Amino acid sequence: MSAVIENHHDEHHHGPAKGLTRWLYTTNHKDIGTLYLWFSFAMFLIGGAMAMVIRAELFEPGMQIVEPEFYNQMITLHGLIMIFGGVMPAFVGLANWLVPMMIGAPDMALPRMNNLSFWILPFAFFVLLSSLFMEGGAPNFGWTFYAPLSTTYAPPSVTFFIFSVHIMGASSIMGAINVIVTIMNMRAPGITLMKMPLFVWSWLITAYLLIAVMPVLAGAVTMMLMDIHFGTSFFNAAGGGDPVLFQHIFWFFGHPEVYIMILPAFGIVSHIIETFARKPLFGYTSMVWAMLSIAILSFVVWAHHMFTVGMPLAAELFFMWATMLIAVPTGVKVFNWVTTMFKGSITYETPMLFACAFVVLFTIGGFSGLMLAIVPADFQYHDTYFVVAHFHYVLVPGAIFSIMAAVYYWIPKWTGNMYDERLGQLHFWLSFISVNVTFFPQHFIGLAGMPRRYPDYALQFADWNMVSTVGAFLFGVSQILFLFIVLKTVIGGKKATDQVWEGARGLEWTVASPAPYHTFSTPPKVD
Amino acid sequence: MQGKNKTLKLLIGAVVGMFFFSFALVPLYNVFCEVTGLNGKVFQASESEVSIEGESRPLALQFISSNNENMPWVFNPSEKSMKIETGKYYTTTFYVKNTTNKTMTSQAVPSVAPSNAADYLKKLECFCFEQQVLEPGEEAYLPVRLLVSNDLPDSINSIVMSYTIFDITDYNNEDLAHHNMGME
């Protein structure tokens, strides 16, 4: 199959342009993928630094390092930056690199829009971060920006926050449109929908979720803008509005958003497990249907984030059962991964280690989610550190581990060099241990009643908070090692073969390593 | 190429549609609450639609008042609780005083707990159906005339009626006064 790639000497072959303008003007899906990935890495480090401020303050009870107002700004920005700047752009970057190569397309369908959707992102985060230096400080109302905290009581910088969310939303929507148009129209002949690689499937479903809910987020912040500046009363009870309405609209966006951040991870992990188990994935069809059911169910469970607002019993029961139902397709996926590994000839290179950790730790996060879904139990767990532990388990060893696994798995294809396996394994074990040291104790202090979003806490929570902070700093330092490993691989290293991994299947492994600037200018033949 | 443009147009349509859908959620939410009575709102009843058939039984009524945000008025129930019987009319009052030195307009918003009691609580008269305008230093006793129907489920032995008073001086909106009225 490698004969199909490029080298059409009759056509003028052009590589990347030189210098900075290459990156500014590029419409190449690989360049844009790289930009997205580096951008998300930068945001990951900035958001991570904020997490260090938070954990340092919580190292001991009492106020030590920062003012409570600044602490509130840190938790708000940490959440927003990690979600909209870290996880989401990283997945878009992976989609840019991989989707065209996996379906045998020469590039994304709308390359200029692709360039635009990336280059507005740095401005969105510049606006958001600049609010730290404004009078009244940065947004301080939590990443969920509930009204009236984010309207009546918000600092003046809330307007900048609203515009930056608008820009991030526009970027995500353009990215999603691009992915769907590419997948629906540019698959090589022979790649039917049910033959698509699972990462492509996961991104197709994710992109539809983005199309459906990012405009709702834009609507929510637009209503806030109008309440703050134009005298409307969407969320203002004095004018006939309702603050609970804000929560409904926000979580109508927010819950599908949760799956936007995990579905691509499902795709990545499926590829890695089948490669290193050296077996075809067990239950491909059920994997696709499971992702579709999760996506559809995600639209009817939003109120489980707000059980305590005073809903009628019937609504609480409906949202509780609908939420628990999601465990069924998720369980199907976990069992399929485990069955794929069963009796496989497994080797544990770094991507596989991260993928295995994903399966175990994401499942722990899923189980604590089931506990939170139980209405009477949630009345106790609501807004405690148990919730913090839950969503960090699904996002850090869930989404972020899958992104790291993906980087280790595909970086030989991107750079042509193998990463340093020993350092990779070291990075894995440091991350694996420290992530559990950080977040597992938060289950205990949450169940014991420590509320989230406070810079201070009662004495009985001191020990586990100290443990958690130690873990957090170890995790933070481990990611510097990750940066070092990636840079080392970009600069040099053992040359990678075209297939890279013995068990690797799929079109992206048929092109040369590093992948040439243009791949699949003529569609490959697929049986 | 044709296929691409078609997909693109459909997707842009979906994005625009979902943006407007988020605004459509606002009236949908209000309609949903009114139809199902989920938020425990009580609308004005007239003498003719109140049935007092069935057996009456004793019941505890409690009154709670609260001020929204920076509303400076004094606002208290004259009686914190009442022992009543179902199927009979009662009148109670709430005391308000404008403690500021300017004329202000207020609107009280009622709520009932448990919310499934709302259907059986009939208010023939309530200050919450109207706006109140008080001069500086002026005070008033605002009446509520009500009846709890005999059909009230046996599981309910006490009802809490809560009122929140809002400063709506700056909201020059006639509709607000009728906000809690029956749906024509």
For A495-517, what is each residue's pLDDT tens digit? 999 999 999 999 999 999 999 99
Number of domains in chain B: 2
Is residue A315 within 8 A of residue A279, CB to CB? The reply is no
H helices of A326-461, in order, are 327-341, 350-373, 375-381, 385-394, 401-415, 421-447
Residue B175 inside a domain? The answer is no
Residues of A with CB below 8 A from B16's CB? 215
**Least confident piece of the model among A90-104, A262-276, B36-50, B137-151:** B36-50
| Cross-chain residue pair A238–B69, CB shorter than 8 Å | yes
Q: Is the pLDDT of residue B166 over 90?
A: no
A174 to chain B, closest Cα gap in Å = 9
**Least confident piece of the model among A298-312, A430-444, B24-38, B76-90:** B24-38
Reply yes or no on whether A293 is catalytic: no
Q: What is the DSSP string of chain B?
A: -HHHHHHHHHHHHHHHHHHHHHHHHHHHHHHHHHHHTTT----B--GGG----S---EEEEEEEEEE-TT--SEEEESSSEEEEETTSEEEEEEEEE--SSS-EEEEEEEEEESGGGGGGEEEEEEGGGSEEEE-TT-EEEEEEEEEE-TT--TT--EEEEEEEEEE-TT---GGGGGTTS---
Tokens 């900035």, located at residue: A46
Q: What is the pLDDT of residue B173?
A: 56
Is residue A434 within 8 A of residue A474, CB to CB? The reply is yes
Nearest C-alpha neighbor of A273 from the set A221, A326, A216, A198:
A198
Catalytic residue among A31, A40, A57, A107: A107
Q: What is the pLDDT of residue B45?
A: 72
Q: Is the pLDDT of residue A125 over 90?
A: yes
Nearest C-alpha neighbor of A223 from the set A204, A244, A246, A239:
A246
Tokens 């148990």, located at residue: A386
Question: ω into residue B114 within 30 of 0, thus cis?
Answer: yes
Q: Is the pLDDT of residue B43 over 70?
A: no
Q: Are residues B91 and B67 in the same domain?
A: yes
| Cross-chain residue pair B16–A110, CB shorter than 8 Å | no
Residues of A with CB below 8 A from B179's CB? 240
Q: Are residues B80 and B54 in the same domain?
A: yes
- Chain centre to alpha carbon of residue B52: 24
**Number of Cβ pairs < 8 A linking chain A and chain B:** 94
Q: Are residues B9 and B30 in the same domain?
A: yes
Tokens 């208010």, located at residue: B123
Residue B177 inside a domain? The answer is no
What CATH number is given to the structural domain containing B160?
A: 2.60.370.10
Cα–Cα distance for residue pair A76/A58, rounded to 1 Å: 16
Q: Which H, E and C letters describe A344-367, residue by residue?
A: CCCCCCHHHHHHHHHHHHHHHHHH
What is residue A495's three-state secondary structure? strand
pTM to 2 decimals?
0.89
pLDDT tier for residue B113 given thresholds of 50, 70 and 90: confident
Compute the average pLDDT of residues B30-39: 72
Of all residues in chain B, the one with the smallest CA distance to A174 is B12
Q: Is the pLDDT of residue B70 over 90?
A: no
Residue B78 inside a domain? The answer is yes
Reply yes or no on whether A383 is catalytic: no
Residue B107 inside a domain? The answer is yes
Q: Are residues B25 and B46 in the same domain?
A: no
Nearest C-alpha neighbor of A319 from the set A328, A306, A309:
A306
**Residues near A232 by Cβ (< 8 Å), separated by ≥ 6?**
A223, A226, A239, A241
What ipTM does the predicted assembly reach?
A: 0.86
Residue B179 inside a domain? The answer is no
Is residue B96 within 8 A of residue B140, CB to CB? The reply is yes
Nearest C-alpha neighbor of A400 from the set A435, A438, A450:
A435
Phi, psi values for residue B104, rounded to 5°: -130, 155
Of all residues in chain A, the one with the smallest CA distance to B169 is A238
- Chain centre to alpha carbon of residue A286: 23
Of all residues in chain B, the one with the smallest CA distance to A315 is B38
Cα–Cα distance for residue pair B144/B73, rounded to 1 Å: 19
Q: In chain A, what is the straight-line distance between the N-terminal and C-terminal CA atoms, in Å? A: 11
Q: Are residues B153 and B65 in the same domain?
A: yes
Residue B180 inside a domain? The answer is no
Compute the average pLDDT of residues A321-329: 96
**Residues near A326 by Cβ (< 8 Å), separated by ≥ 6?**
A294, A297, A298, A301
Q: Are residues B67 and B88 in the same domain?
A: yes
Nearest C-alpha neighbor of A400 from the set A44, A14, A35:
A44
Of all residues in chain A, the one with the smallest CA distance to B115 is A312
Cα–Cα distance for residue pair A32/A121, rounded to 1 Å: 12
Mutate one of B1, B5, B6, B7 to test the A interface: name it (highest A CB count within 10 A).
B7
Residue B182 inside a domain? The answer is no
Tokens describing residue A317: 């029961």
| Cross-chain residue pair A238–B4, CB shorter than 8 Å | no
Catalytic residue among A171, A350, A415, A489: A171
Compute the average pLDDT of residues A420-440: 97
H or E stretch including A490? helix A462-491
Burial class (CB in 10 A: 0-12, 13-18, 19+), B20: exposed
pLDDT tier for residue B38 given thresholds of 50, 70 and 90: low
Q: What is the pLDDT of residue B181?
A: 42
Q: Are residues B30 and B51 in the same domain?
A: no
Catalytic residue among A34, A202, A270, A489: A270
pLDDT tier for residue A6 given thresholds of 50, 70 and 90: very low
Q: What's the alpha-carbon Rg for chain B, to the nearest Å?
A: 22
Q: Is the pLDDT of residue A435 over 70?
A: yes
Q: What's the alpha-carbon Rg for chain A, to the nearest Å?
A: 23
Q: Which domain holds residue B64?
A: 40-169
Q: Are residues B25 and B58 in the same domain?
A: no
B176 to chain A, closest Cα gap in Å = 7
Cα–Cα distance for residue pair A350/A419, rounded to 1 Å: 10
B183 to chain A, closest Cα gap in Å = 15
Q: Are residues B61 and B133 in the same domain?
A: yes
Share of chain A above pLDDT 90, in %: 91
Q: Is the pLDDT of residue A1 over 50?
A: no
Cα–Cα distance for residue pair B184/B180, rounded to 1 Å: 11
Is residue A273 within 8 A of residue A358, CB to CB? The reply is no
Bridge pairing between strands B121-126 and B89-97: unpaired
Phi, psi values for residue A293, rounded to 5°: -65, -40
State whether residue A152 sits within 8 Å of chain B by CB.
yes
Share of chain A above pLDDT 70, in %: 97
pLDDT mean across residues, chain B: 83
Spell out the domains of chain A, with CATH numbers in brackets: 27-509 (1.20.210.10)
- Per the document, the length of chain B is 184
Tokens 């001069």, located at residue: B135
Q: What is the pLDDT of residue A7?
A: 47
Cα–Cα distance for residue pair A72/A149, rounded to 1 Å: 12
Cα–Cα distance for residue pair A154/A139, rounded to 1 Å: 7
**Least confident piece of the model among A270-274, A356-360, B40-44, B178-182:** B178-182
Is residue B149 within 8 A of residue B50, CB to CB? The reply is yes
Mutate one of B10, B12, B26 to test the A interface: name it (highest A CB count within 10 A).
B26
Mutate one of A152, A245, A306 to test the B interface: name it (highest B CB count within 10 A).
A245
pLDDT tier for residue B49 given thresholds of 50, 70 and 90: low
The 10s digit of each residue's pLDDT in A38-70 is 999 999 999 999 999 999 999 999 999 999 999
Cα–Cα distance for residue pair A458/A460, rounded to 1 Å: 6
Is residue A174 within 8 A of residue A111, CB to CB? The reply is no
Q: Are residues B26 and B113 in the same domain?
A: no
Q: What is the pLDDT of residue B1?
A: 61
A215, A223, A238 member nearest B18 (Cβ): A215
Residue B136 inside a domain? The answer is yes
- Per the document, the length of chain A is 527
Nearest C-alpha neighbor of A501 from the set A290, A299, A329, A348:
A348
The 10s digit of each residue's pLDDT in A453-503 is 999 999 999 999 999 999 999 999 999 999 999 999 999 999 999 999 999
Q: Are residues B140 and B53 in the same domain?
A: yes
Q: Is the pLDDT of residue A436 over 70?
A: yes
Q: Are residues B81 and B115 in the same domain?
A: yes
Q: What is the pLDDT of residue B109?
A: 83
Cα–Cα distance for residue pair A417/A351, rounded to 1 Å: 15
The 10s digit of each residue's pLDDT in A372-420 is 999 999 999 999 999 999 999 999 999 999 999 999 999 999 999 999 9
